Amino acid sequence: MGETDGLRQWAVAGGVLEKNGRFLLVHNRRRNGDLDWSTPGGVIDEGESVLEALTREVAEETGLAVSGWSGPLYRVEVTAPGYGFFLQVEAHRATGFSGEIVIDDPDGIVIAADFVDLDEARERLEGASQWVAEPMLEHLVDGVADGRLYSYRLDGSGPDDRRVTRL
């Protein structure tokens, strides 16, 4: 049996949108009340492709209509046996989009969205999970866009014993 057998499988798409050297981040209120920033995106529904899901999620979370994507820029896997999940993320860059930011997330998670410069992105991503912040910042700072895989293991079962290891 593999390490991910028996774990809930999550497939997620994330989008990098850039306008005038600024990058779109969304402010999330998680179900447990925690707040963090990330790229827009979300769970890929059954029957959807990664890009269909990503286009839908960006529109739902921000009101922006994406007309095209390139990538994947990077991929992320998180194995979290104590939490009971295995997460796979694929991040793409928007090649075109239109509209104005309007927050109307049907999941009630996204509470704000903003285009920020690199310094603001660094600051806002400080509170994000390591598997969200590291790949995004390596993309923004170092230009990582080769589809590389970032693998992490999340050990523990709650906030008091949580340990993240980059593999």
Q: What is the CATH number of the domain that holds 52?
A: 3.90.79.10
Instruction: Please report where in the chains the tokens 């993240």 appear, as a residue.
Output: 164
Q: Into how many domains does the chain fold?
A: 1
The answer to whether residue 1 sits within a structural domain is no
The answer to whether residue 122 sits within a structural domain is yes
Identify the domain containing residue 28 by its residue range. Answer: 8-166
The answer to whether residue 2 sits within a structural domain is no
pTM of this structure: 0.93
Tens-digit pLDDT profile for residues 21-46:
999 999 999 888 889 999 999 999 99
Tens-digit pLDDT profile for residues 100-118:
999 989 989 999 999 999 9
Taking the chain (167 residues) in runs of 10, the rounded mean pLDDT of each run is: 82 97 96 92 96 97 98 97 96 98 93 97 94 96 95 91 95
The answer to whether residue 161 sits within a structural domain is yes
C-beta of residue 54 within 8 angstroms of C-beta of residue 15 = yes
Cα angle 103, 76, 36 (rounded to 5 degrees) comes to: 35
The answer to whether residue 149 sits within a structural domain is yes
The answer to whether residue 123 sits within a structural domain is yes
